[in-house]
Structure 1
Amino acid sequence: MKVFMLAASMMTLIAAGPVPDAAALHAGLAGRWTGSLGYRDYQTDKMSEIAVKTEIRALPDGVTVLRISEFDDGPRVGAVFITTASLHDSKAGTVSSATLRKGNSVEIETETLAVTAYVDAAHWTIVAEADGSDDDKPARLRVTEVRDGLLLTATKDVQPKGTATWAFRNRTLLRKAE
């Protein structure tokens, strides 16, 4: 059974033709998306969910993608905007990003990227990994993006330094606005 599934998945990749790099797949996300951000609250260890709107713009250079996300962080804070500018380096298999949010320091990180599944431009999986921090502690960070037509799911897992276990941190579920 495992051999059949492996052979079937290989045929899907062969039938789909060459697999585009992550920059091309991320550029294909251009447009407006709406959905929710679900995250694990550290104090209560419970899931919380808030509405989010995201606009993605791919620049004509083929390697730069801008994302602007807006969510309501409650009556005391109000609307929060997070802007991320990403520059892909296909030769290195990385993306370097600068993330801006009012009241926070600019976050700069470089992630390694892998296209782990590909059927076509609207059905794929990209896994990004980087060293960073979670809850102000060193950790390995992994974001798995899955595009399934008009749906995009990004799941962030963290692996605290010195452990082998990955833990869920947050998930963004978006639907492309038509």
Structure 2
Amino acid sequence: MKHRLSAIALLLVATLPSLAQSPAQTPAATPPPAVLSQPVPPQPVGSIAGHPGWPQPKPADVSSPDAILAAVYDVISGPAGQPRDWDRMRSLFLPDARLIPATILPGSPDAASPNTDAIILTIDGYIARSRARTATVGFFEHSIHNEVEQYGNIVQIWSTYESRHTLADPMPFARGINSFQFLKDGNRYWVVNIFWGAETPTTPIPTKYLPSAASPSTSINSNFNGDWVGQLEYRDFQSNQQVFLPTWLTLNPDPDGNSVKIAYTYDDGPTKTVRESSTLTFQPGTQKATLTSDTDHTSEAFEVQGLAEFTKLNRGTLVLTGKGKENDHPVDVRLTLTLRRNLYTLRKETRPAGEEFKFRDGYTFTRAEAPRT
């Protein structure tokens, strides 16, 4: 028994060094928590780049701030029931542009400082609203005074407007201010937003945003002057397609104060340059005018609408209506002439008796030189 205990003791003594040399067992390290990757936001896409199929504009419509402003007023205007060219309107605006009328909320406790809101419309939202209204009511709007600011590629125009149901209305049914924002993109401009408010009895338009009456003109024709550049657009009778030709214009007012010489030069294809000239004469003391060709000396007589305001401001819009011929058939003729400081447009429409007016041809020009007045 004693020998057995001794053997066990010796065995324990022999194994102690090996136990001492074995490393202590440590628990496995806890791995760090996994880091969840954050999604990378997509690269922003611009409004223009994001809509590659957007309607293309007429180059003359978007060539300058004055031109695109006039195009907006023109495309939204027309008699009751006349379809507007909504694709032309879309071509003027960024696809994500907004049209924003300010509204006065009914029941405001303080009429002098009423509660207001703003209606945010997309282009298609504005079109839907306008289409419903113009189906039965005529609407013509134009600017009477503009304040223009530009820095780099951003432009703002504070445009005082008047609205009428027909061009013959002596007084507008509404006035107000349109705040236009434009983007310059290379050689063209885009409408970014229009934010507008109508004049009210408690918020009359300040004098500084109205045409100056400090020095009224005594002649009708003094602003018809200088050299202009733009394009002729016409409807080809055979193909019924719209044709665009680069065009140059020279206007020379006659010393009599009532007439203006109009000379067009346009490129009608390789090695074919066409020159045409005519004289527009306003008959003093009447609402009448004649347009005489300087080539064959034929004359057309017109009744003129808007002459009094045009004479006072020396710019604005005139509507001339008369009789003419188209393919040897009698037609009614309507000419809409708009003259601004840096913009001149002339639109011709015709109709056989009992039909609607249809576009025949049109000119759009901006000045090729600084205005003389």
Q: TM-score, normalised by structure 1?
A: 0.79
Aligned to 2:184: none
Residues 227 and 367, structure 2, Cα contact 8 Å, conserved in 1: yes
Pick closer, same or farther for the CA change 1:88–1:133 going to 2, 3 Å: same
Which of these two proteins has the greater Rg computed from alpha carbons? 2
Residue matched to 2:319:
127
Residue 87 (structure 1) aligned to one of 267, 278, 281: 281
1:176 and 2:370 aligned: no
Alpha-carbon distance in structure 2 between the residues aligned to 1:113 and 1:61:
19
Q: Give the alignment's Cα RMSD to 1 decimal.
A: 3.1
Partner of 2:257, secondary structure, is coil
1:64 Cα deviation after fit: 1.9
Answer whether contact 2:217 2:313 (CA < 8 A) is retained.
no
Q: Which has the higher strand share?
A: 1
Match for residue 6 of structure 1 among 150, 173, 181: 173
Is 1:66 matched up with 2:258? no
Distance 1:43 1:19 in 2: 47
Deviation, 1:19, is 8.3
Alignment of 1:1-178 (within 5 A): 6-8=173-175, 16=211, 17=213, 24=220, 26-75=221-270, 78-101=272-295, 105-115=296-306, 120-122=313-315, 124-161=316-353, 163-178=354-369
Contact 2:320 2:336 in 1 (8 A): yes
What percent identity do the matched residue pairs reach?
20
Tell me the matched-pair count.
168
Higher helix share: 2
Q: Is the 8 A contact 2:287 2:304 kept in 1?
A: yes
SS of equivalent residue, structure 1 residue 27: coil
- Higher deviation after alignment, 64-73 or 30-39: 64-73
Superimposed CA distance per residue, residues 53-106 of structure 1 (whole angstroms, 9 cap, x where no aligned partner)? 111101111112111111122247x221111123220322111222134xxx43
Mean CA deviation greater in 165-174 or 88-97: 88-97
CA–CA distance in structure 2, aligned partners of residues 20 and 109 of structure 1: 27
Tell me by how many angstroms 1:170 deviates: 0.8
> What is the CA distance between 1:145 and its match in structure 2?
1.1
2:247 partner SS: strand
Q: What is the TM-score normalised by the length of structure 2?
A: 0.40
Q: Distance in 2 between matches of 1:171 and 1:86?
A: 16
Q: Unaligned regions of 5+ residues in structure 1, if any?
A: none
Q: CA offsets, 1:13-59, max 9 Å, x none?
A: x95459869x61x4312111111000000001000010111111011
Structure 1 residues 19 and 137, CA gap change in structure 2 (3 angstroms): farther
Question: Could you tell me whether the CA contact under 8 Å between 2:254 and 2:260 is conserved in 1?
Answer: yes
- Give how far 1:113 is off: 1.2
